[in-house]
Copies of this chain bind each other. A is one copy, B any other.
Amino acid sequence: MQIWEVKLTQPAAMGGDAYTSNPEEQIVVDRIYTAIMEQRIAPKTKLSEAKLCEVFGVGRMRVRRALLLLASQGIVDLESNRGAFIACPSPKEANDVFTSRMLIEPQLVHGLCIAAQSPDLSHLEEHIKLEHAAHADSDRSHIIRLSGEFHVKLASISGNSVLIRIIRELVTRTSLIVGLFGDSGHSSCPDGEHASILAAIKKGEPSEAERLVFEHLQHIHSGLDLSRSKPQRPDLAKVFGMA
């Protein structure tokens, strides 16, 4: 089932949505995106329009557009006359996200074994080195974000912008879920599994890579305790470094 047509070696920027071109509000979206990816912002956190305006120094219009965009991706909840809140995924939502990822990503990597070329692979190797460095520094924010980005970069190799967007959204929601239900002790992606996935791709073993990705996601999923949830309300100005 080799179904790859076009390729794209370039980084394929973390944030950009490609569709909504306005660069101003994309900044707001990206900042919130990465804040969630790094788990510096907890579910249920209220995203007050006024505060976001002064933190990012943009008009209320832009903030509202950004919030709507995030809401359409299930990353924030928009409650009428109450405001925007970082989404607090239900156990069912958590399962749905993981199920979707387990459905898509193994197949994706299967195809990658055929399509991936050396520049792509060395790029991934580079990324894994960054992950190890972050582990060495015990830099929690970086560890978590890089873990997620690995999956996005995997998708980026396909050059399929549709898939890339889907994966990015799922990865971000996963960050929320892991932050909510995960054991704050161990990191979201078990270290070493990314490396073995990459190794399987390198060796050109589609079935093996597919299986490793599936199990990798299963490991993360099984590390969750879906009965628990921990509410918090950090200060927005601190989270975003009062830009």
Does A122 make an interface contact (CB < 8 A)?
no
A65 proximity list for chain B (CB < 8 A): 68
Does A22 make an interface contact (CB < 8 A)?
yes
Does A48 make an interface contact (CB < 8 A)?
no
Q: Are B161 and A102 in contact (CB under 8 A)?
A: no
Bound-state Cα–Cα, A230 to B153, Å:
35
A136 proximity list for chain B (CB < 8 A): none
Does A3 make an interface contact (CB < 8 A)?
yes
Q: Are A21 and B80 in contact (CB under 8 A)?
A: yes
A103 proximity list for chain B (CB < 8 A): 3, 104, 107-108, 111, 163
Of A49-57, A69-77, A184-192, the one with at least 4 CB within 8 A of chain B: A69-77
A77 proximity list for chain B (CB < 8 A): 19
Does A214 make an interface contact (CB < 8 A)?
yes
A108 proximity list for chain B (CB < 8 A): 103
- Which residue in B68, B79, B158, B161 is a CB contact (below 8 Å) of A69? B68
A117 proximity list for chain B (CB < 8 A): none
Does A20 make an interface contact (CB < 8 A)?
yes
